[in-house]
Amino acid sequence: MHAVRSEPPLHQRKRAPTAAELQGVPWLELLSASERERAVGDITVGDARPGDFVCRVGRPVTYWFGVIEGLLKMSTDTSQGQQVTFTGVPPGGWFGEGTALKREVYRYNIQPLRNSVVAGLPVDTFHWLLDHSIGFNRFVMNQLNERLAQFIAAREIDRMANPDVRVARSLAALFNPVLYPGVGEVLRITQQELAYLVGLSRQRVNEALSALQAQGAIRVEYGGLRILDLAALRSGPATPAQSAHAA
């Protein structure tokens, strides 16, 4: 028998954000005093746990969401019942602006890979800010531009046979300073979480990380990864033939 969850769904566990949590919302500093006052008054946060759905396929959009702490995954299920993961969403990342703009239903699922703090701005407030704030418009426009580039890169990653390159490119996407300003130089992620996002085994991800560390692109630290060379991640690890040529 399946265990019955005793706690209410995520949307029923929302609460007001703390001052520290508001510090993790990157676009608030772009607003005027009156715009910020309205946004802060409308933002709610929820403590999301694995198994929760932040967004679910087919559900109407009600909030524009962002990650304060933790790590989320964006995925969907194929007609054959297989799950396809599009990307991860680390701290500082806000997502779903395209769906919020068009007030459509979600075409993907968003779930936490670990205990996470997720912020939500009501979709009506999202549109109010679009109507009143130049700074907010620029932020959303930059988000859409970066998101387009991210998904073009994701299609390229899906077609790559080299697992080391897939891991490198996927890591580079998670270190995107525009989409995920809360990450900085250290991404708190386990090898198992990265394996879920990349679609490889934990053992194969471990081998790829070792290769990237030997190349000097990253450093594996306790509880996460430190980026040392983002350009190297974006280009992928050098192949043995390239290494020999360079030598």
Q: Report the sign of the C-alpha dihedral through residues 123, 94, 110, 97, in that order.
A: positive
Average pLDDT over residues 190-210: 92
Domains, the chain: 1-159 (2.60.120.10), 161-247 (1.10.10.10)
Residue 240 has pLDDT above 50, yes or no: no
- Take residue 123 and report the two structure tokens written for it: 């979709």
Residue 2 has pLDDT above 70, yes or no: no
Across 56-65, 161-170, 236-245, the highest mean pLDDT is recorded for: 56-65
Higher pLDDT, 153 or 220: 220
Burial of 85 (0-12, 13-18, 19+ CB in 10 A): middle
Residue 23 has pLDDT above 50, yes or no: yes
Average pLDDT over residues 210-238: 88
> What one-letter code names the amino acid at 235?
S
Q: Please state which of the ranges 20-34, 66-80, 207-221 shows the lowest mean pLDDT.
A: 66-80
From CA 98, how far away is CA 106, in angstroms rounded?
Answer: 10
In terms of Cα–Cα distance, which of 43, 54, 50 is closest to 10? 54
Q: Provide the mean pLDDT of the chain.
A: 87
Name the pTM for this structure. Answer: 0.82
Average pLDDT over residues 68-81: 85
- Take residue 124 and report the two structure tokens written for it: 């009506």
Residue 4 has pLDDT above 70, yes or no: no
pLDDT at 163: 86
Q: Residues 121-146: pLDDT tens digits? A: 999 999 999 999 999 999 999 999 98
Average pLDDT over residues 165-185: 88
Q: What percent of the chain has pLDDT over 90?
A: 62
pLDDT at 148: 82
* Helix, coil or strand: residue 69: strand
